[in-house]
Amino acid sequence: GQNIDQPTEMTATEGAIVQINCTYQTSGFNGLFWYQQHAGEAPTFLSYNVLDGLEEKGRFSSFLSRSKGYSYLLLKELQMKDSASYLCASPRGGSNYQLIWGAGTKLIIKP
């Protein structure tokens, strides 16, 4: 089957580091996406991992372990504007055309 799990909500402090985890069970794995969605706004693309390892992009990094079916998004030097929902998604096994989405992790940043 296809399943993507991520925590519902997390809280972190401004200036700190937070790691948002995503576990997936998809056959025919073909990469994992992270999107950011601010309340009342559309999702925006953050990263796409196909190979194992860490990819850094400024304050945001994304990690993938295909053998463990696990990914995380690492946010450093948290800012209040990072308060948002973070969605992970992976293509449906055997298909290049349909993404399976997690329910999203709502990240709350406190001063």
**Whether 37 contacts 85, CB under 8 Å:** yes
Minimum CB distance to other proteins, residue 16 (Å): 26
- Residues 42, 53, 57, 67: which binds other proteins (CB under 8 A)? 42
* Contacts to other proteins from residues 52-111, by CB under 8 A: 87, 89, 91, 95-104
Calpha distance 73→51 (Å, rounded)? 15
**Whether 93 contacts 26, CB under 8 Å:** yes
Minimum CB distance to other proteins, residue 15 (Å): 29
Size of the site for other proteins (CB under 8 A): 22
- The CA–CA distances, whole Å, from 109 to 58, 74, 84, 96 equal 19, 14, 9, 35
- Residues 3, 11, 28, 41: which binds other proteins (CB under 8 A)? 41
Name which of 78 and 89 has its Cβ closer to other proteins: 89
